[in-house]
Structure 1
Amino acid sequence: MTTLILTVVAFFIGIDDISTKLFRRPLLIAPIVGFILGDMQAALAIGATLEIMWMGVGNVGAYMAPDIITGTLISTSLAIISRGSGSLSDTVATAVALAVPTALLSQQLLVLIETVNVSLNSWAHKLADNADVKGTRWLNYPPAILTGLARALPTFLALQFGSEAIQKALEVLPTFIIDGLGVAGKIIPAVGIALLMLSMIKKAELWLFLILGFVLAAYLELAILPITLIALVVAYLYDLGTRTTPQVASPEVSTFDVEDDDDEVYDL
């Protein structure tokens, strides 16, 4: 029953990924899995870890990024199911180990799905040329269903046959690919954070705050909470220092003539 529920959830999250995009991040997907499986503690820890790991991953142009949705669904589910009396850190490590290969394997399935979806473009052009609004609306359903199945089918197979099925699929891959996945798993978190900083830190002077945070963490060995409190104070002072006060122009007193009915002139 749990496998069926998670498969349905995977289907609708897959559809959400090409529509509202509300639940496509690991930090949101993992708690849903944890709620269904009854282990929110492990789910939150896994979701936070995978979120940092895949923070900067996204589709750019024609590049199809690893499927972080399927990777999160499968890795979180299998890690929680196999947890037993294991420690939280071991559970998170298991999820991370499963997340990268499952996301990369599902990536190839998404490439196939998108190839099929592209074939619908000519049909869409014909409908648009004929002003067939109803037909164009119905044309949204096939890509949505295929994308949902692209997430639901791997999730069902992984949960039904366990991590052994994934292990067998990995055994077919050449050794250099497995080694590459291991290296990628270590590099991806750093790349994700770097891409996030490049998109957020637009001004050169803002890099000074990054250096300050590095010094506080690496050399002064402060914990996250005091660094956060110091960052709040520095951010507030920076906002005060850079805030511009609007200049209000003072009215100028001008001299003009006013004539009354008796043609007398008064200077004001």
Structure 2
Amino acid sequence: MRKLNVSVFLIALLSTFIFKACKDKNDDFVFLSIEEDVELGAQVASEIENDPEQFPVLDEAEYADAYTYLNGLLDEILNSGEVAYKEEFAWDIHIIEDDSTLNAFATPGGYIYVYTGLIKYLEQEDDLMGVLGHEVAHSDLRHTSKNLQVQYGLSFLISLISGNNSSDLTKIAGQIAGTATGLTFSRAYEKEADDKSVEYLAKTPYACNGAYSFFQKLIDEGNTGRLPAFLSTHPNPEDRVEDINVKADELGCDTNPLNPASYQDFKNMLPN
């Protein structure tokens, strides 16, 4: 029994050094390594790909023009100089065909999914850029990984890092994929993602408060009850609008929409 306790202590001590080595670029303590984030994200993407009934992802070859357009928007954010894990993460974006759903979500490792319903609801390219910035931030700030370490605890993470349970990442990937459309984060994480979206867009030609106009449309139409999961944590959309605009004021960035006509062309590329 004493030997076992010593072994556990040594593993815990070793894991402490590992965790310190894996401390992320945002100075938050994240137990999972970057490599594990990437592996987990790839497995979640595989689970989603193998479940076309729940996730009818548009084929990249058939809708090549739409994906080229969307990847161009994503590249604007990735090239802003503000994305910490630009080189390490996959930054793989997909379109899910569901016109009735206003949603988007991101998984660890930079896998992003946007629903056709959200794309068609948004009125201009700047709006979509605000949403994409928000989702990039969730991946780049490693919010899902931080949630996992709270949910599963230190003993699980020690086991994961030591390689004793090789199937654990697969199990977690399945759980994340199964609840992907309803992924929720704390109010603090949502605000952090909103703020980052402004910071990303401030280094692009787009309105840095792009996410604001989406909220405002929901408010103006009285559709706050339709808030998608990725924006529903905060109980007051009006406060969310104010916070985004306050952040833009703090940065002194351009809030004039670029609004190129090509956004309507992009919508027309999607299934009717």
**TM-score between both structures, scaled by the size of structure 2:** 0.34
Q: How does the TM-score come out when normalised to structure 1?
A: 0.35
Higher-helix-fraction structure:
1
